Amino acid sequence: MKDHSDLACTNVHSAIQDTLYVVNGKWKLLLLSILINEGTKRFGELARASGISPRILSKELHELELNQLVSRQVCPTKPVTVEYSATPYAGTLKEVIDAMIRWGQRHKQKLVRS
């Protein structure tokens, strides 16, 4: 008999929902992917690389910071620049991100073929 007890299913369901809650919306996983794969970036660079408007970008980065997935470093240049990096903890999301990249690529191939 497979493990379909209520408890096990509930845990699986809530685990997915917990993850979705942290990385909700159109942008968070994209931003993490950029920071993980391309390293530290400044605010403006992220805005250009992602196509996100400054208001949304600011909000998303702030939420990612609250979840300890990105770190923010202010550089005392003139005028100031701000650098964002993926934290080590964000690395634990890499397998999610990579799986999504692979699936998106395969899915596009499928659409072309059909």
Q: Which residues bind a second copy (CB under 8 A)?
A: 4, 9, 11-20, 22, 24, 26, 29-30, 33-34, 37-38, 49-50, 89, 92-93, 95-97, 99-108, 110
Q: What are the residues whose beta carbons fall under 8 Å from the beta carbon of 46, sequence distance 6 or more?
A: 31, 34, 35, 52, 57, 61, 84
| The binder of DNA chosen from 24, 68, 105, 109 (CB under 7 A) | 24
Q: What are the residues whose beta carbons fall under 8 Å from the beta carbon of 61, sequence distance 6 or more?
A: 31, 43, 46, 70, 72, 84
Q: Which is nearer to a second copy, 62 or 100 (CB)?
A: 100
Does position 76 interact with DNA (CB under 7 A)? The reply is no
Torsion of CA 104, 83, 64, 32, to 10 degrees: 20
| The binder of DNA chosen from 5, 58, 68, 92 (CB under 7 A) | 58
| The binder of DNA chosen from 2, 4, 55, 113 (CB under 7 A) | 55
Number of residues that bind DNA (CB under 7 A): 25
